[in-house]
Structure 1
Amino acid sequence: MAVHAHPDDESSKGAATTARYAAEGVEVLVVTCTGGERGDVLNPSFEVPEGHEFTSIDGRRAVRRLEMAAAARALGVRQTWLGFVDSGLPEGDPLPPLPEGCFALAPLEEAAAPLVELVREFRPHVMTTYDPTGGYPHPDHIKCHEVAVEAYHAAGNPDRYVVDGGAAAWEPSKLYYNHGFSMERMRAVHEAMLGAGLESPFGDWIESRTAREIPEREVTTRIQAAEHFSQRDDALVAHASQIDPQGFFFAVPRDVEIDVWPTEEYELADSRVPTTLPEDDLFAGVREAVR
């Protein structure tokens, strides 16, 4: 179970991993906490699908549901919605208040309750989500982390989140945090691009992150996923309102990426089964335990 804040996050964080496991026969469920209703158009070539509009909250939600369905098909995974409304990314100094009724303002137990029920129904052995920083300081990403961690720890306790007629308690075996663009990865790809005489998209980013002294989190688990990068790319492009097919995500030639960085990285946050670090499989320890 991969828990994400918005539609498109599942395609930019761990997408090739989910596609790999789905191809291997693992049941994979992507849970999207919000409808992405407050996301701006980030693709200059985006055209609103016929019969839709993208100016209202309801219109954006409908379009992004179409995009999410296409991305899920590209990855070969199942997907469901937690049902909360996008909080938007506040900007300014001071920051404006978050909109009433948004995901980030929901009390933790209210926000976690539907995810706890999903965990009990789907019965995942492994859950993935964001680290406590959210990966970046979007309020929905931080809330997504809090909700996923709460569900991971609470779903196995039959005395918590009691629902008449609800599914039986279920305790997942492992919890991981996604690692996105780590400094190690960016430096490796940056140097490879320069070495090939190509313009690197990471130069300014490396300098800005270093200047802000953003700490690197531990990588415990590297998943070989290069064979599924094309599915990841197809899923990204499916989010047409958000992803520019000529933009940042496609600035590194795939042959360079596969040669330099063919893996996706994770941080093991909790394990209820024995495992040895470093790992190359999210199900290390789980496979032995369920035999």
Structure 2
Amino acid sequence: MGAVLKAFTTEPLSDILSWAQSTLKESDHLTFEVLNPDIGRGHYAGETITINGNEYLYRSYKAWSDLGELLFCRMLTPKIISEHTVQITYEKLDLSDSFHRSEEKEEKYGIASRFAAIHKNEEPAFLSAYLRALHSVKVGERKRILNLGINTGDEFDLIRQILSSEEYMNLSLVGIDFSQSAISVARERFNEGNAIFYVHDINDLASLDLGRFDLIITIGTLQSSTLEFKALFASLVQEYLSKEGAMILGFPNCRWMGGEMIYGAKAPNYPYSEMSILIKDIYYCKKYLQQKKFRVTVTGKDYLFLTGTKIG
């Protein structure tokens, strides 16, 4: 169905949300007219602005973008309607366009999958938090680095980007993933001679005789339903981390659908984002590492990064 046009001036956001939710039940788009956010720069959402005797409640483009995300929509480029107003259009995301829905078991994360279209390093919310974690652990000073769930190697690629050539070549990188096609790509991308990649089941790390590492990175992997989360995490700390080693754990708090990274992980048995399992897992890892004399921080938004470095 076509777009529905409506103008808002002083209506509270709760009314706008209710209207939008109702409209999207019948339409793939919705369009509305509001105060141009550029006019009220520096105001907070909900502040009243009076122009030529007409009152408006101010909201920023960020607020409108956030609302679109909550509605599982993308916000299209706004259009100037008048001297003081703009037209905003939301377009429903194709929720079926997501690797989360794939029933493929062997190559759900392979290069032919929808997952292969995702480049987390190009998402500011991911990039900023991951960079902070890498700087926090002083990645350039770590000699052996292990990444579990490396896929095609984006997490190693960012390390290569932020270090000098000499610093990078001093590193020994090991990446493990169960996707044959993804690891084949990783081997092509990192052919300088200081990286090795295994197609392997993370449940059976012992058979690889890997030794110990100065930094262990795993992002969006430990929470897999095929892994025993607590047992695997404990074994990484006890059997694979060097005495002064550090860890970077990335916990997804988002979903990927329709070309967008949408805040809030989908929890089993809930029709909305529910964070109890996420918080429980982060708390377990934080407490465990603190008991082992690690300094632990938790940062990020769409991905929450737990970073642990040895105290002393």
TM-score by length of structure 1 reads 0.29
TM-score by length of structure 2 reads 0.27
Q: Which has the higher strand share?
A: 2
From the CA coordinates, give the structure whose radius of gyration is larger. Answer: 2
Q: Which has the higher helix share?
A: 1
Highest relative contact order (Cα 8 Å, sep 6+), 1 or 2?
1
